[in-house]
Amino acid sequence: MRRMQQSSTPAVLVTVAQIQGSTPRESGARMLYTADAQFDTIGGGHLEWRAAQIARAMLLANPDQLDGQRRLERIALGPSLGQCCGGVVFLCFERIASDAEALRLWQALEQSWTRGNDRWRALPLDHAEPMQLLQPDGPQHTLQDMARTASQTQLVRDQQGRRWLLDLCRAHQPQVVLFGAGHVGAAIVKVLSTLPCRVLWVDEREDMFPPGLPAQITTEATDVPNAAVDMAEPGAYYLVMTHSHALDQQL
């Protein structure tokens, strides 16, 4: 994204702002769109295709108008897109500004990540003011208080009823892809959840995943476990311990 800003390449950041029910990705998942490229994923399928449509329409819109700067879309996966997840995804679309103030804010966010610090940002959705970076120990006011009590990216309203994207920007942590949700896999997840890493936990049996998992654990119930390899980020680590020796060997 920094390269896009430095070259003044128009780009739209798409953030999963909030979810209800079963969805392909968690709150805080992101994609970046330009006129001819996209980076990362919000889960693929028709949801991602629809997001690309909206993002690229924004790139053609007037950037001086609010609709050309940021939008919030509610997308029901079952009725409107025919995806089997059946949940609801709220997507925030945000044109990436390249003015001096925007560059300063994104550079400050990047510096926090470099130091290994998570950071909250607040993006107004009903007016065109710049995003805010929130300090965990900053002054007491509504958005700061919300960030202190929140555990993941979400939509909030301030005291005036205005909508905000309250976005948790986590410092980079290595990704571990764990195949197998049996008793050994479950025990390993308990240990991994105490470490500075993010876990993609994959199994064919959805009922094997326990409820109440920490935010850094993402589950993926799929009939094609090896597809999770394509979902993983470069440099990910893999642990393979499924219920099938043949599947272990295939993975």
| 66-70, 106-110, 133-137: least confident range | 133-137
47 three-state secondary structure? helix
Percentage of residues of the chain with pLDDT beyond 70: 92
| 87-96, 111-120, 190-199: least confident range | 111-120
C-alpha–C-alpha distance, residues 34 and 152, integer Å: 26
Domains of the chain, by residue range, sit at 1-172, 175-250
Superfamily (CATH) of domain 175-250: NAD(P)-binding Rossmann-like Domain (3.40.50.720)
Mean pLDDT over all residues of the chain? 85
- The arithmetic mean of pLDDT across residues 191-212, rounded, is 89
Q: Does pLDDT of 141 surpass 70?
A: no
178 by Cβ neighbours in 10 Å (0-12 / 13-18 / 19+) ranks as buried
Whole-prediction pTM: 0.68
* 52, two tokens: 């690309």
pLDDT in tens, 46-76: 889 999 999 999 999 888 887 778 999 999 8
Q: Does pLDDT of 137 surpass 70?
A: no
Of the pLDDT bands very low, low, confident and very high (cuts 50, 70, 90), residue 199 is very high
Of the pLDDT bands very low, low, confident and very high (cuts 50, 70, 90), residue 148 is low
Q: Are 27 and 18 spatial neighbours (Cβ–Cβ below 8 Å)?
A: yes
Q: Does pLDDT of 142 surpass 90?
A: no
Q: Which residue has the tokens 């990705």?
A: 25
pLDDT in tens, 74-105: 998 876 666 667 789 999 999 988 778 888 88
155 three-state secondary structure? strand
C-alpha–C-alpha distance, residues 158 and 137, integer Å: 19
Q: DSSP strand E in the chain: where?
A: 12-20, 30-33, 38-40, 70-76, 88-95, 119-124, 132-134, 154-157, 163-169, 175-179, 198-203, 217-221, 237-240
130: Cβ–Cβ under 8 A, 6 or more apart, which residues? 97, 101, 102, 105
Measure the CA angle with vertex 48, ends 45 and 50; round to 5°.
Answer: 105
Q: What is the β-pairing status of strands 30-33 and 38-40?
A: antiparallel
Q: Does pLDDT of 144 surpass 80?
A: no
Q: Are 177 and 229 spatial neighbours (Cβ–Cβ below 8 Å)?
A: yes
Query: What pLDDT does 84 receive?
Result: 66
**133 CB-side CA count, 13 A:** 18
Q: Are 121 and 134 spatial neighbours (Cβ–Cβ below 8 Å)?
A: yes
Q: Does pLDDT of 138 surpass 70?
A: no
C-alpha–C-alpha distance, residues 65 and 131, integer Å: 16
**Which spans in 115-213 are helix H?**
142-149, 183-192
What phi-psi label fits residue 9: left (phi over 0), alpha (psi between -120 and 50 degrees) or beta?
A: beta
Of the pLDDT bands very low, low, confident and very high (cuts 50, 70, 90), residue 13 is very high
Tell me how many helices (H) and strands (E) the chain has.
7, 13
